[in-house]
Amino acid sequence: MASTPAIRTQLTQLLGLKTPLIQPPMAFASGGVLAAEVSLAGGFGFIGSGFDTPEKLRRDIETARTVLKVEPGSPLPIGVGFIGWILDKSEATSKELLALLVEYRVKAIWLSFGVNLSPWIQFVRELNQQSGGPPILIFVQVCSLQEALTAINEWKVDVVNVQGIEAGGHGASYGLPLLTLLPLVLANTPPNGPLIIGGGGLADGSQVAALLTLGASGAVLGTRFLLSQESLCSEAQRKVLIEADSSQSVRTVAFDQAGGWPFPKGIDGRAIRNATVDDYEKGIDISVLRKNFEEASAKGDTDRAVVWAGTGVGLMKQVLPAKEIVRELHEECLSRLRNASNLEIKE
Ligand SMILES: Cc1cc2nc3c(=O)[nH]c(=O)nc-3n(C[C@H](O)[C@H](O)[C@H](O)COP(=O)(O)O)c2cc1C
């Protein structure tokens, strides 16, 4: 992207980026290599820590540091994402996980899906105070205006990601379409409030340009980066994603029921419809659903194992290196922004 002009927003200035593209944390899918490659390409990548132990997260962060060629002790231009209800399970382990962010000078944390994220935000702020270094920036993902108002006015976080109901992976069953929720949140954000970014169902640079013209500081693309060479998706999962059309991306609690994952009330997930969803909708016995799902997941059989995907999946037809995805999105966004500026009619 060396010869291409950069795009400047408040987000790119805050994080020192060339392009306002964020690859979000994706549990079991975004490790250290993907996050680092996105950041190297001029965007910003998050490791999805999910159910990771401190040892596993340490390995992932060290991998990112190696790819980024950052010396130990120097700031690391990636983030790590945590899921609130998983952090709540063990305070001691979670504090160990979060302390790694200070140890490795990770630039940002992303929190979502908690019953109450406030204690964890407070803990990160305490870590920031003790470290004396540049603060770890706090991103929070929200699925409603109410959640956004809490993050903006009470928690006063640095960046709020507005997740539309189109988003792949977990999200709110009560969510709203991105083009409705994002303007609602922007209209309720004070001028000195957090930066607002958005995502859910995005697949190409024209949609990124649309978000920027709405007033967002950046765009978040998850499913698109599942189809990078560096994601942790299996070949079978990539094949499903490449072949899927958007109507196969459905919101469901089937996989949470089958996997026994206790996400908070109102949270479900968006994935490609398969036999697990069909069986759940038919009301099959839960023990049978779980057994079939466990066996399929162990074998990587996508007829029943989960393949998370947002509604943009039907527009995605190619696996590319993450760097190429960032370059393509950036160039298309630039071109659309230029076209839009030509729409002005001078009489
Ligand atoms: C495979 C997968 C795993 C995800 N895991 C997480 C996660 O661990 N934490 C989180 O906050 N969001 C997670 N998400 C949601 C993303 O943060 C983001 O909202 C979503 O990917 C955006 O929608 P899109 O996939 O349609 O681009 C995940 C999404 C996917 C596709």
CA atoms of 88 and 216, how far apart (whole Å)? 31
CA of 130 to the centre of ligand 1 (A): 31
CA atoms of 171 and 268, how far apart (whole Å)? 6
Which amino acid is residue 305, in one-letter code?
A
Residue 201 Cα: closest atom of ligand 1: 26
Mutate to test the pocket of ligand 1, among 21, 22, 23, 26 (most ligand atoms within 8 A of CB): 26
- Whether pLDDT at 172 is above 80: yes
Q: Where are the domains of the chain?
A: 10-233+317-332, 236-299
- Whether pLDDT at 132 is above 90: no
Mean pLDDT of 148-167: 98
pLDDT value at position 301?
98
The dihedral of CA 285, 287, 289, 291: what is its sign? Answer: negative
| pLDDT, tens digit (0-9, with 9 covering 90-100), for 50-108 | 999 999 999 999 999 999 999 999 999 999 999 999 999 999 999 999 999 999 999 99
pLDDT value at position 346?
83
Residue 310 Cα: closest atom of ligand 1: 26
Measured from CB, residues less than 6 Å from any atom of ligand 1 are: 24-27, 29, 48, 50, 81, 83, 110, 112, 141, 163, 166-170, 199-202, 220-223, 226, 308, 310, 312
Sequence-ordered list of residues with C-beta below 8 angstroms from that of 346, at least 6 positions apart, any chain: none
Q: Match domain 10-233+317-332 to its CATH number in 3.40.640.10, 3.40.190.80, 3.20.20.70, 3.10.350.10.
A: 3.20.20.70
pLDDT value at position 2?
64
Cα–Cα–Cα angle for 210, 213, 215, nearest 5°? 115
pLDDT value at position 41?
98
Q: What percentage of residues in the chain have a pLDDT greater than 70?
A: 99
Which residue shows structure tokens 């401190």? 54
Mean pLDDT of 4-17: 97
Contact present, 346 and 16 (Cβ < 8 Å) = no
| pLDDT, tens digit (0-9, with 9 covering 90-100), for 201-251 | 999 999 999 999 999 999 999 999 999 999 999 999 999 999 999 999 999
Residue 200 Cα: closest atom of ligand 1: 23
pLDDT value at position 92?
97
Mean pLDDT of 295-320: 98
DSSP secondary structure of 106-166 = EEEEEEES-S--HHHHHHHHHHHHHH-SSPPEEEEEESSHHHHHIIIIIS--SEEEEE-TT
- 63: exposed, middle or buried (C-beta count within 10 Å: 0-12, 13-18, 19+)? middle
CA atoms of 208 and 214, how far apart (whole Å)? 10
CA of 335 to the centre of ligand 1 (A): 27
CA of 334 to the centre of ligand 1 (A): 25
CA of 24 to the centre of ligand 1 (A): 6
CA of 124 to the centre of ligand 1 (A): 22
Confidence of residue 187 (pLDDT cuts 50, 70, 90): very high
CA of 344 to the centre of ligand 1 (A): 36
Confidence of residue 133 (pLDDT cuts 50, 70, 90): confident
Residue 163 Cα: closest atom of ligand 1: 19
- Give whole-number Cα distances, 33 to 15, 63, 64, 169, 229, in Å: 19, 6, 5, 20, 10
- Closest CA relative to residue 80, chosen from 59, 106, 43: 106
CA atoms of 47 and 114, how far apart (whole Å)? 18
Mean pLDDT of 285-291: 98
Sequence-ordered list of residues with C-beta below 8 angstroms from that of 17, at least 6 positions apart, any chain: 11, 42, 43, 44
Residue 224 Cα: closest atom of ligand 1: 27
Confidence of residue 11 (pLDDT cuts 50, 70, 90): very high
- Average pLDDT along the chain: 97
- Give whole-number Cα distances, 94 to 63, 141, 259, in Å: 21, 19, 22
Q: Mind spelling out the 3-state secondary structure of 297-311?
A: HHHCCCCCCCCECCH
CA of 30 to the centre of ligand 1 (A): 10
